[in-house]
A = this chain, B = another copy of it.
Amino acid sequence: MYTYKYPRPSVTVDVVVFGYDGGRDLKLLLIQRGGEPFKGQWALPGGFVDMDEDLEASALRELEEETGVRDLFVEQLFTFGAPDRDPRGRVISVAYFALVNLTAHPAVAASDAEQAEWYPLHELPELAFDHARIIEMATNRLRAKVRYQPIGFELLPEEFTLAELQALYETVLGVPEFNKRNFRTRIMKTGMLEEVGRQKNVAHRPAVLYRFNEDTYQQLMEQRDSAVLRRALDFEI
């Protein structure tokens, strides 16, 4: 038992993990709750923060414990603290935002009584707590982010074609299709792509395979102010 002079809230972390597998929809990693409240309902992976643990570490730990997913890009999203957001009492949740290439992280090892599953972003089940709101905010963040930071590195496999990269952008932004010629010109101008080979055994002209040049990529990520980058990613919608 722990005793304090003033009342204290509980603090949890929740993680919104976006996965991409090349399709026309992003996927979201959800778990089915094994205990009350909201037992049996779907929710974001997450849990209580340990007392000697950094917040981000806590998010990564809970994610791995509940879903087996690890080694991925995360950043803090927002802290949700409405007094009535959890029926158990005052619970403040620090939400994280994560991106992962689904084909490289397909296995979803559920812990305990909980199930974990990838849901298409446009076919989500009813969600526990205020998790629908958290997901909404994460989706907005993703769409805003995609305009000033190249996100492909996290969502695509090592090697990919320009058509795949374009499909990713179209999927994230939810737009029909933009001009191939112009997409290519803009992306190539950033210098972040490196040619690594060609497709094999396809019934058409084989596409050039690219990988992200990590150095250039990191540089571009740091200097968000880079005009090159903004101009390259700032697609009309």
Interface membership of A79, Cβ < 8 A: yes
Closest CB in chain B relative to A79 CB, distance in Å: 5
Contact across chains for A94 and B82 when beta carbons are under 8 A apart? no
Could you say which residues of chain B place their CB within 8 Å of the CB of A144? 224-225
Residue of B7, B54, B90 touching A83 (CB-CB under 8 A): B54
Size category of the A interface is 35 or more
Copies in the assembly, this chain: 2
Binds B, one of A128-136, A183-191, A192-200, A229-237: A229-237
Q: Establish whether residues A8 and B11, one from each chain, have CB atoms under 8 Å apart when the complex forms.
A: yes
A215-233 residues at the B interface, CB under 8 angstroms: 224-225, 227, 230
Determine which of B3, B55, B79 lies in contact with A76 in the assembled complex, contact meaning CB atoms within 8 Å: B79
Q: Is A10 an interface residue (CB 8 A)?
A: yes
- Closest 7 pairs (CB-CB, A-B): A55-B81, A8-B8, A79-B79, A2-B7, A3-B3, A7-B51, A52-B83
Q: Which of A58-104 contact B (CB under 8 A)?
A: 76, 78-79, 81-83, 90, 92, 94
A131 to B236, CA, bound (A): 39
8 A-B pairs besides A54-B82, A147-B225 with CB distance below 8 A are A7-B51, A9-B49, A9-B51, A49-B81, A51-B83, A76-B79, A144-B225, A230-B234
- 27 A-B residue pairs with CB within 8 Å: A1-B5, A2-B3, A2-B4, A2-B6, A2-B8, A3-B3, A4-B4, A4-B8, A6-B10, A8-B8, A8-B11, A9-B51, A51-B83, A51-B90, A52-B83, A52-B90, A53-B83, A54-B81, A54-B82, A55-B81, A55-B92, A92-B92, A144-B225, A147-B225, A225-B237, A227-B234, A227-B236
Bound Cα distance from A52 to B4, whole angstroms: 17
Alpha-carbon separation in the docked complex, A119 to B191 (Å): 42
Least Cβ distance of A234 to chain B in Å?
Answer: 6
**If A92-B11, A92-B55 touch, does A1 touch B2 (CB 8 Å cutoff)?**
no
